[in-house]
Amino acid sequence: MSTSSLVKDAAIVIRDIPVQVVRKPIKNLHLGVYPPDGQVRVSAPEHLTDDNIRLAVISRLSWIRKQQEAFQAQPRQSEREMVTGESHYVFGKRYRLEVIERRGRHEIVVKHPSTLQLLVNPGTTQANRTKVLKEWYRQQLKHRVPQLLEQWEPVIGQQVEVWGVRKMKTKWGSCNTQQRRIWLNLELAKKPPECLEYVVVHELVHFLERHHNERFKALMSQFLPQWRLRRDTLAKEPLGSENWID
C-alpha cells in the first residue's frame, strides 16, 4: 500500500466501494455518503497520505454500508411522463396532474383541493412540460425562502447576501461563507415545509461553524431543537426520478 499522496481529485476503490477523494486546505478529514445511490466522498487535508485516507474509510465501512443500504431502500418516484393522472408533490402535499392543451402561455394552476393543472400549447413535448413544472417549482421556493430568511437571520445573527435555487446531485443545500451565499436544491419544493426550513437554518448555521462538528450540532440544537427529526423526515422522503442531475 502506497504512502504517497493522492492527486487533488481522485477516485479509488476500497473493499469494492468506489470513493471520491477531494483534497482541500482543511485540518480534518470529512467522510460522507450521499444520495441518491450512496456515493462515498472524502474531503481530506492536502498533507494526508493514501494510507491514512484508506484506513479512515476502512474504519467506517460498517457505517458506510448501512447508509448505502438506507438509500437503496428509500422509496423512489417512478419516471414522470407529465400526463394527466400522475401524482406530483408540492411542499409535501400530493396533487393529481391534469394536463390541458390550449393556445397561450404555459403555466401551472393549483386547483384546490388536490389538482395541479398544467396548461400548455398543443403538441408540447414531455421535456418542455417538465421544464414548465420545474420553473414553477423554482418560483414556489423563491416565494417562500425570503420569508424564512426574514424569520431566521435575526435569530441566528447572520445575513445572506445572495441565495438561489438549482438542481443539486448530492446536497439539499450548500453555502459559501465568504460570499455569504446559499444555494437550495430545487427538489425542496416537493418536500414538507419543515424540511425547507431545516435546510435554510442548517446553511445559516454554517456561517457560524463551517464543519459538521459538535459545535455545529450544538448550535443547531440551540436554534432548532427538533432539527434531527426534520433531517430524518427529509431522509425518508422519496427521491426524485431524475437522479438530481442539473
Indicate whether 94 and 210 sit together in one domain.
Answer: yes
- What single-letter DSSP state applies at residue 76? B
Q: How far apart are CA 174 and CA 167, in angstroms?
A: 11
Domain boundary among 45, 73, 101: 73
Q: What per-residue confidence (pLDDT) applies to 245?
A: 29
| Amino acid identity, position 127 | A
Q: How far apart are CA 177 and CA 8, in angstroms?
A: 22
Indicate whether 46 and 92 sit together in one domain.
Answer: no
Where in the sequence is the domain holding 46, given as residue range(s)? 9-73
In a domain, 78, yes or no: no
Indicate whether 91 and 47 sit together in one domain.
Answer: no
Per-residue pLDDT of the chain (246 residues; tens, 9 = 90+): 443 444 456 788 998 899 999 998 888 898 988 866 788 999 999 889 889 999 999 999 999 998 888 777 666 666 779 999 999 999 999 999 999 999 999 999 999 889 999 999 999 999 999 999 999 999 999 999 999 999 999 999 999 999 999 988 778 999 999 999 999 999 999 999 999 999 999 999 999 998 889 999 999 999 999 999 999 888 777 656 553 322
Q: What is the layout of strands, in order, in the sheet containing 17-24?
A: 9-14, 17-24, 39-45, 30-34
Nearest CA-CA partner of 164 in 183, 145, 180? 183
Domain boundary among 46, 73, 100: 73
Indicate whether 117 and 229 sit together in one domain.
Answer: yes
Total number of domains constituting the chain: 2
Indicate whether 60 and 93 sit together in one domain.
Answer: no
Indicate whether 68 and 93 sit together in one domain.
Answer: no
Indicate whether 56 and 91 sit together in one domain.
Answer: no
The three grid cell numbers given for residue 213, joined into one nine-digit string: 462538528
Indicate whether 109 and 147 sit together in one domain.
Answer: yes
Contact 77/239 with Cβ under 8 angstroms? yes
Indicate whether 33 and 93 sit together in one domain.
Answer: no
Indicate whether 106 and 210 sit together in one domain.
Answer: yes
List, as own/partner pairs, every contact residues 77-85 make where C-beta atoms lie below 8 angstroms and the sequence separation is at least 24, other chains included: 77/238, 77/239, 77/240, 77/241, 78/241, 79/241, 80/130, 80/241, 81/126, 82/118, 82/126, 82/129, 82/130, 82/133
Domain boundary among 20, 39, 73: 73
Domain with 132 in it: what CATH number? 3.30.2010.10
